[in-house]
Structure 1
Amino acid sequence: MSEEPLEQLDAVDFAVIAFHVDGEWDVDELTLDHLLDAPTLVAAMRRLPGEDSVALVAVDEDWFLVARVVEGRVRMLLSDATAAEDWDLAASVLDLLGLPEPEDDDDQVPAGDLGLLADLGMGAEDLGALIADLDLYPEEILSEVAEEIGFGDDFDDVVGLAPADHA
């Protein structure tokens, strides 16, 4: 492995995996080895028990990735498509989704499936509104996402965040 991917992995703020077994979420940290690229992350998620898993990854206090594997189907959301210009993981997400890198790196827009968590209680409109709120850091957004879909306290414990004031 070249030094550049290692340096990029050092910028990962956190990587959390939640998987649904017997009606309960089990939440744990992902290792950095799982974040080399999107296919590696998906392969790790497919090895988990249960039929549904969600990965929440924040990088460099700047962008995040939500990945979901449910009944074998892969769905992903990158909070800022322009991250693909500088980050291998983000570029591999766009590749996996078959999306081009944005031409205008000043236009920070999400890429992927805003509705990937709708059946868990976080609709596309709500997720899009969180991403559009430029005052929020990725960890704040992902903490809110985890709360809405049912494992907020466990997420905050794993990440080491103080319990958020979830409205």
Structure 2
Amino acid sequence: MSDATVTDLDFAVAAYTEDGNWTVTPLVLRGEPDLSTLVSALRRYPGEAGVLGLVSVDEDFFVLVRVLGGRARLLISDVTAATEWPLARQVVDELDIPLADDDDEQVPAGDLTIIADLGMTAMDLGALCDDVDLYPYEMLEEIAETLGFGNQFQDAIEAVG
């Protein structure tokens, strides 16, 4: 692990549907965000298809969490982030995958089908995560647009900033 002790959180938002309409709201995560706190915060929201947590960290990687019932599904955009960021390390540990080396390529890990039933296929999500020219917030913005809550996503991000 590096000297990083506090994650520079770009933003964290929750997105969920009620009566077929998306609601996106900023998540308030105090101190160092950790996976259990994130999942607990998401469980507070309703959602016919569960609730999505979209988290961008230091313009380096994103975490996508979907809480549905008692289950949390996870996707991280870059497994190599686990060598530097505590939240990324927790996600990689929860996924039970080996820690990547610093010199490994940026690759996503986790459930690429996490939002397939909402409108973005695993292939499209994987291709998006593989686009090294995009920042994590741009990837999350694309996900939000594809799923149909792009405007609400932008409003929530602006409310955080």
Name the TM-score, length of structure 2 as normaliser: 0.88
Say which of 141, 144, 151 aligns to 1:143.
Answer: 141
What percent identity do the matched residue pairs reach? Answer: 53
What one-letter code is carried by the residue in structure 1 that aligns with 2:135? Y
What one-letter code is carried by the residue in structure 2 that aligns with 1:12? L
Measured after TM superposition, the shift of residue 96 of structure 1 is 1.8
1:73-106 deviation line (CA, Å, top 9, x unaligned): 2111000001111111011111222222124642
Counterpart of 2:154 in structure 1 is 156
**Relative to 1, partners in 2 of residues 1:132 and 1:91: Cα closer, same or farther, differing over 3 Å?**
same
Flag structure 2 segments of 5+ consecutive residues without an equivalent.
none
Q: Using the alignment, how far apart are the partners of 1:17 and 1:117 within structure 2? A: 14
The 3-state SS of whatever aligns with 1:54 is strand
1:39 aligns with 2:39: no
Q: Is the 8 A contact 2:34 2:86 kept in 1?
A: yes
Counterpart of 2:58 in structure 1 is 60
What one-letter code is carried by the residue in structure 2 that aligns with 1:145? I
The 3-state SS of whatever aligns with 1:33 is coil
Counterpart of 2:18 in structure 1 is 21
Greater relative contact order structure (CA < 8 Å, 6+ sep) = 2
Counterpart of 2:109 in structure 1 is 111
Measured after TM superposition, the shift of residue 34 of structure 1 is 8.2
1:136-165 deviation line (CA, Å, top 9, x unaligned): 11111111100111211100111139xxxx
Flag structure 1 segments of 5+ consecutive residues without an equivalent.
162-167
Name the TM-score, length of structure 1 as normaliser: 0.85
Q: Is the 8 A contact 1:16 1:29 kept in 2?
A: yes
The alignment covers a number of residue pairs equal to 156
The root-mean-square deviation of aligned C-alpha atoms, in Å, is: 2.0
